[in-house]
Amino acid sequence: MACMYPASSNSPDILYPYIEKELKNLLENETNWISNAANAAATLGFLMPLLNWVGFYLYNGSELVLGPFWGKPAVTRIEMGKGVCGNSANSREIIVVEDVHQYPGHIACDLFSNSEIVLPLVKNDKLIGVLDIDSPEIGRFEDIDRIALEKLARIMIELIDFPLAD
């Protein structure tokens, strides 16, 4: 595996196709889901500007449990319907939070987080869990980021053999 380099530009039209290419290169050559999820989180954390946490919470059939991540240690279990992650998992909708301090029930893991996007991961109508991304910048995640991250999440669902709850 070759070293990963930063993108030549952080403009979304250069950055996101580059991340997509790097992710596919990494994930297509490995079958272990933990290795792949860890590398996917680290790839986003390394390549996307202004992030402080990227990681997966996996649904175990009753709640969300912390999976591979990039960033500071985080809360290990999140009830369905609690916090941004639990709400996204319940509704199976992407939630973009411009300012986490204004979000009722937000669960703070890293005091530097000011905005957040959570993407539900669903395969064959079954909930895998969520991909959670935090930024120290208020309003970090715009429409263009949401659309690009939704595509990257689809690639992760396809290429990472996540465990599914019964």
Name the residues that contact ligand SME, by CB under 6 A: 53, 74-75, 78, 83-85, 106-107, 109, 113, 116, 132, 134
Which lies closer to ligand SME via its Cβ, residue 51 or residue 148?
Answer: 51
Q: Which residues lie across from 64 on neighbouring strands?
A: 59, 78
Residue whose Cβ sits closest to ligand SME: 83
Which lies closer to ligand SME via its Cβ, residue 16 or residue 70?
Answer: 70
Residues 73 and 44: their CA atoms lie apart, in Å, by 17
Q: How far is the CB of 113 from ligand SME (least distance, A)?
A: 6
Q: How far is the CB of 103 from ligand SME (least distance, A)?
A: 7
Which lies closer to ligand SME via its Cβ, residue 75 or residue 147?
Answer: 75
In the 3-class helix/strand/coil scheme, how is the chain assigned residue by residue? CCCCCCCCCCCHHHHHHHHHHHHHHHHCCCCCHHHHHHHHHHHHHHHCCCCCEEEEEEECCCEEEEEEEEECCCCCEEECCCHHHHHHHHHCCCEEECCHHHCCCCCCCCCCCCEEEEEEEEECCEEEEEEEEEECCCCCCCHHHHHHHHHHHHHHHHHCCCCCCC
Q: How far is the CB of 117 from ligand SME (least distance, A)?
A: 11
Q: How far is the CB of 47 from ligand SME (least distance, A)?
A: 19
Q: How far is the CB of 97 from ligand SME (least distance, A)?
A: 8
Which lies closer to ligand SME via its Cβ, residue 38 or residue 74?
Answer: 74
Which lies closer to ligand SME via its Cβ, residue 50 or residue 75?
Answer: 75
